[in-house]
């Protein structure tokens, strides 16, 4: 699978033998070779493979059912295990069928998750800083029509948002629970990452509620990347360690990055500066 992916990426980047012969020089200049777009196209190729695997697995499960009932060659436990492969393949396909890259940010309250997302987008979209804490899930994605608006889970109404202040005010008006999701649509032309179909998910502090399992199941099972925003001025707490445990239980091989925020604070600790 890894070899196939590498070959696919190589072909999409224009390194394969057939690419140069089918694209004129002018087409190569206009061809979108953004790494994120290559990632999206590679996922579509891999999804074609898993579509075939899905058919094979379903056929195998059906065959095993008949064998189990007629000949009793395999045990009940083995039959259930084989049947579970259908859901596993479906879960993989659900992730691969998406045409965007989803990045979920987690961390304790006021560790700087919203600030990090704003920095990556190079624009202050999410309320952040002193006096602001994220009290629900915020999903930032690109809008095609140059409009900026937000939508809540239980409503199809588009609430226009032109500034961070308006966004904060709109969020305050809504009585939202920690596990609820608010989608924020921002013009793609304003942010390069949104133009490349990257979706950012900001979350409440993992120390706000014990329902981390529910959060992951509802909003993050299809995430391509998890980013744990930690405070470099303190050690990892039990809640942050639990985050790793919960994610690893839900996903077989999650992509988790740890971002140590406030690392610049070490500049004031002159006695430890050399060690840092």
Does 9 have pLDDT greater than 50? Answer: no
User: Who contacts 102 (Cβ-Cβ below 8 Å, separation ≥6)?
Assistant: 199, 201, 222, 223, 224, 225
Does 200 have pLDDT greater than 90? Answer: yes
Query: In the structure encoding, which two tokens stand for residue 256, read together?
Result: 């988790």
**134 SS3 class:** coil
Q: What mean pLDDT is predicted for residues 214-226? A: 80
Residue 165: what pLDDT? 60
Binned at pLDDT 50, 70 and 90, residue 17 comes out as: very low
Q: Which fold has domain 101-268?
A: Rossmann fold (3.40.50)
- pTM of the shown model: 0.63
3-state DSSP percent of the chain in helix, strand and coil, to 5: 50, 15, 35
Q: Which is it for strands 198-202 and 137-143: parallel, antiparallel or unpaired?
A: antiparallel
Average pLDDT, the chain: 74
Does 76 have pLDDT greater than 90? Answer: no
**Percentage of the residues of the chain whose pLDDT score is greater than 90:** 2
162 or 1, higher pLDDT: 162
Q: What mean pLDDT is predicted for residues 68-72? A: 67
Q: What are the domain boundaries of the chain?
A: 2-96, 101-268
Residue 199: what pLDDT? 92
DSSP 174-218: S---TT-EEEEEEEGGG-HHHHTTEEEEE---TTT-S-HHHHIII
Query: In the structure encoding, which two tokens stand for residue 105, read together?
Result: 């940010």
pLDDT digits (tens, 9 = 90+) for 228-274: 888 877 777 787 778 778 787 777 677 888 888 877 766 666 666 56
Binned at pLDDT 50, 70 and 90, residue 45 comes out as: confident
Highest mean pLDDT among 69-83, 95-109, 111-125, 169-183: 111-125
Q: What mean pLDDT is predicted for residues 36-46? A: 77
């Amino acid at each position: 699978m890894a070899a196939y992916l590498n070959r696919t990426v190589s072909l999409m980047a224009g390194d394969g033998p057939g690419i140069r012969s089918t694209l004129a020089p002018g087409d190569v200049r206009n061809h979108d070779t953004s790494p994120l777009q290559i990632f999206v196209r590679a996922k579509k190729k891999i999804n074609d493979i898993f579509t075939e695997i899905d058919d094979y697995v379903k056929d195998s499960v059906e065959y095993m059912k008949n064998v189990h009932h007629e000949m009793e060659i395999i045990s009940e436990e083995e039959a259930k295990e084989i049947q579970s492969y259908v859901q596993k393949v479906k879960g993989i396909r659900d992730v691969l069928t998406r045409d965007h890259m989803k990045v979920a940010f987690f961390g304790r309250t006021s560790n700087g998750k919203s600030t990090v997302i704003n920095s990556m987008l190079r624009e202050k979209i999410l309320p952040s800083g002193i006096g602001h804490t994220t009290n629900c899930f915020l999903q930032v994605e690109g809008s095609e029509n140059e409009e900026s608006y937000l939508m809540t889970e239980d409503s199809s109404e588009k609430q226009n948002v032109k500034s961070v202040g308006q966004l904060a005010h709109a969020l305050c008006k809504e009585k939202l629970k920690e596990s609820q999701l608010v989608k924020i649509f921002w013009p793609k032309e304003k942010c390069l990452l949104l133009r490349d179909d990257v979706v950012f998910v900001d979350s409440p502090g993992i120390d706000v509620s014990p329902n981390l399992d529910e959060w992951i199941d509802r909003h993050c099972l299809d995430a391509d990347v998890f980013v744990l925003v930690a405070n470099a001025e303190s050690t990892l707490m039990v809640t942050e360690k639990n985050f790793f445990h919960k994610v690893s239980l839900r996903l077989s091989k999650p992509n988790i990055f740890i971002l140590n925020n406030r690392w610049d604070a070490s500049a004031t600790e002159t006695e430890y500066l050399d060690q840092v």
